[in-house]
Amino acid sequence: MELRQLTDRVFYSLHNKEVDRPVLGYINGRKYSLMVDSGNSKRHVQLFNEAIINEGLRKPDFIAITHWHWDHSFGMNAIEGITFANKKTNEKLAEIAKWKWTDSEMKKRLETKLEIEFADSSIRKEYPVLSEILVTTSDISYNGTMEIDLGGIVAELHPIVSPHSEDCTCIFVPQERVLFIGDAVGVDYYNNCYLDKSKLNSLLIAIEGIDFDICVMGHADPASKLDILNIIGSLLDR
């Protein structure tokens, strides 16, 4: 896995379309470090940790989850640090933690539209042995906003309105002027790829009000503030 340096204290991994591995972030404080999203599997976490160590960095002390979708959260069981997720994310993960991971049960979830085809096929690629899937909730659940002091740098966790999912959280690093938004700019795959433009407009207003230079998305290359606002604007104009 390749780890790229975005600023003096912020790094990110590249996304992988083949098995739907999203971008993972790393914020390096003087006392602690924070990972953005936990990845989609134990293997994803291992590759990320290896990349971090190769850069002379320590494994993350804290991990913040942007939303519940499997590719951003299923690696939590393999994390060594303390995990954070907002209440809505944890409620959904607690529900999924009760699911059985067998071929027949996964097919039933597709038939009942509890799961979508893309997630099902990607999960099967990432987990040749389905029984290895272990879904967990975070160590710490919170409501509203949260600020984590990493030593000389903070990570601000903010709930954000998004058309992609009801539980989206962005992570803002004001000292580095970097904003992680996960998949917030995206359609709702669990609702026939519906794009709620009122929610997208709320997201646009929220992002406009944040003082950042670089936006890190879950499945794309980092973008400038102007570029991400233009992307959202073009979606609104469709």
Residue 130 is given by DSSP the state: G
Cα(66)–Cα(215) distance, integer angstroms: 14
Percent of the chain with pLDDT over 90: 97
Confidence of residue 130 (pLDDT cuts 50, 70, 90): very high
Percent of the chain with pLDDT over 70: 100
Q: Which domains can be identified in the chain, with CATH numbers?
A: 3-236 (3.60.15.10)
Tens digit of each residue's pLDDT (9 = 90 or more) over 159-180: 999 999 999 999 999 999 999 9
Q: In this predicted structure, what is the pLDDT of residue 17?
A: 86
Tens digit of each residue's pLDDT (9 = 90 or more) over 138-158: 999 999 999 999 999 999 999
pTM of the predicted model, to two decimals?
0.96
Q: Which residues lie across from 217 on neighbouring strands?
A: 182
Q: In this predicted structure, what is the pLDDT of residue 76?
A: 97
* DSSP secondary structure string for all residues of 155-194: EEEEE---SS-TT-EEEEETTTTEEEEET-SS-BGGGTTB
Q: In this predicted structure, what is the pLDDT of residue 19?
A: 87
CB atoms within 10 A of CB 50: 12
Residue 132 is given by DSSP the state: G
